[in-house]
Amino acid sequence: MGYVARVLALVAVGMFVSATASVAEEKDPLKPRVPADQLAEAKQMKNPVEATPENIAKGKALFEGKGTCVNCHGKEGKGDGPAGAILNPSPRNFTNCKFHKKRKDGELFWVIKNGSAGTGMVSLVPAAITEEEAWTIINYERSFCKE
């Protein structure tokens, strides 16, 4: 099954499950996901896309459209999308400002590119989006923290 078909199947099952069951918890969001031997390098990566209002709007469109992120992370970024409901651990809640303070953009990029081992967060670059689109979405994900 292709990537998009898999996500759509997850959405269908998730809509059913979210109506009947409670949502799983996140795995500790403050612990790094990048393997120790690549962490320093990931932290040093700079986001080449500026966080202007225009680029954040582009990120929102990608998050809710082509990127399929919304299916798991939810429209409000709380990790409560229809497919997210069946995942254990639960998708990241991007409204948690403590999480954003702990992570550099490069660490988020690393996970979007490589996935987070043992979770529903699979590699999405280049399966669903380009590297530049990933950086663009990161700016939008940051905007869910309102502090």
Count of residues in contact with ligand HEC, rule CB under 6 A: 31
Residues between 66 and 125 with contacts to ligand HEC, criterion CB under 6 A: 67-69, 71-73, 83, 87, 89, 91-92, 103, 107-108, 111-112, 116, 119-121, 124
CB 94 within 8 A of CB 78: yes
Cβ 24 to ligand HEC, closest distance in Å? 9
Minimum CB separation of residue 103 from ligand HEC in Å reads 5
Of 147, 145, 146, 132, nearest in space to 59 by CA: 132
Q: Ramachandran region of residue 118, left (φ > 0), alpha (ψ -120 to 50) or beta?
A: left
DSSP-assigned letter for residue 91: P
Sequence-ordered list of residues with C-beta below 8 angstroms from that of 41, at least 6 positions apart, any chain: 106
Residues of the shown chain interacting with ligand HEC in the complex, contacts defined by CB under 6 A: 7, 10, 26-27, 29, 33, 67-69, 71-73, 83, 87, 89, 91-92, 103, 107-108, 111-112, 116, 119-121, 124, 128-129, 137, 141
